């Protein structure tokens, strides 16, 4: 039963991301400049073995994108019930089909995380999935009101 619930949750996330991707592709004409401004985000998932810390995680934060491929954030992350504040620096790119990728370095740990992205609503909404082995994670971004828009 436990595995059924996990598979059902994963399938639901995949379908939601697929629907988001179809919306993004319908908009088309994206570039790295499309993703610009300040965004609020949430992230959830699970860390599995062989990681030294195994269990669920969640996070919230504010992340800025400069429209040129650079990003930084502040976040509160809870991993297996232990919370910490982190700062994040990284790079990103967005393809013309509104898909993209992002590499983030979490400080002070120095851990590097990789993501695939889908950008929608002219850069106002972003969905991401963690692509590193041993992690099942999803994130959702929404441009903050007053944040700069992309093109």
Q: Domain holding 52: CATH number?
A: 2.40.128.120
How does residue 49 score in pLDDT terms, banded at 50, 70 and 90? confident
What does the alpha-carbon distance between residue 138 and residue 151 come to, in Å, rounded to a whole number? 25
Higher pLDDT, 47 or 93: 93
Using an 8 Å Cβ cutoff, are 63 and 45 in contact?
no
Q: Which range, 1-5, 16-20, 49-53, is most confident?
A: 49-53
- Can you point out the beta strands (E) in 4-150? 36-47, 55-66, 70-79, 82-94, 99-107, 111-120, 125-130, 135-143
**Bridge partner residues of 105 (DSSP):** 89, 112
The predicted structure's pLDDT at residue 116: 98
Residue among 105, 125, 130 at smallest CA distance from 23 = 125
What does the alpha-carbon distance between residue 113 and residue 107 come to, in Å, rounded to a whole number? 11
Q: Tell me if 74 is assigned to some domain.
A: yes
Q: Tell me if 149 is assigned to some domain.
A: no
The predicted structure's pLDDT at residue 18: 47
Q: Structurally, how many domains does the chain consist of?
A: 1
The predicted structure's pLDDT at residue 51: 75
Mean pLDDT score of the chain: 84
Q: Is the pLDDT of residue 60 over 80?
A: yes
Q: Tell me if 111 is assigned to some domain.
A: yes
What mean pLDDT do residues 11-24 have?
46
The predicted structure's pLDDT at residue 147: 59
Specify the pTM: 0.79
Q: Is the pLDDT of residue 31 over 60?
A: yes
The predicted structure's pLDDT at residue 50: 78
Residue 19 belongs to what domain range?
A: 2-143
The predicted structure's pLDDT at residue 145: 84
Neighbours of 4 (CB within 10 A): 8
Q: Tell me if 150 is assigned to some domain.
A: no
**Bridge partner residues of 84 (DSSP):** 77
What mean pLDDT do residues 110-124 have?
95
The predicted structure's pLDDT at residue 148: 60
């Amino acid at each position: 039963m436990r595995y059924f619930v996990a598979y059902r949750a994963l399938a639901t996330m995949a379908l939601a991301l697929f629907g988001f991707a179809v919306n993004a592709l319908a908009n088309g004409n994206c570039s790295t400049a499309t993703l610009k401004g300040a965004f609020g985000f949430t992230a959830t998932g699970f860390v599995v073995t062989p990681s030294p810390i195994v269990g669920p995680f969640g996070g919230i934060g504010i992340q800025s994108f400069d429209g040129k491929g650079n990003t930084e954030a502040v976040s509160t992350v809870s991993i297996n019930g232990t919370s910490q504040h982190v700062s994040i620096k990284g790079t990103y790119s967005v393809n013309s089909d509104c898909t993209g990728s992002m590499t983030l370095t979490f400080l002070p740990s120095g851990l590097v995380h990789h993501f695939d992205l889908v950008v929608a609503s002219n850069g106002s909404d972003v969905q991401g999935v963690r692509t590193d082995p041993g992690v099942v994670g999803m994130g959702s971004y929404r441009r903050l009101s007053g944040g700069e828009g992309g093109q």
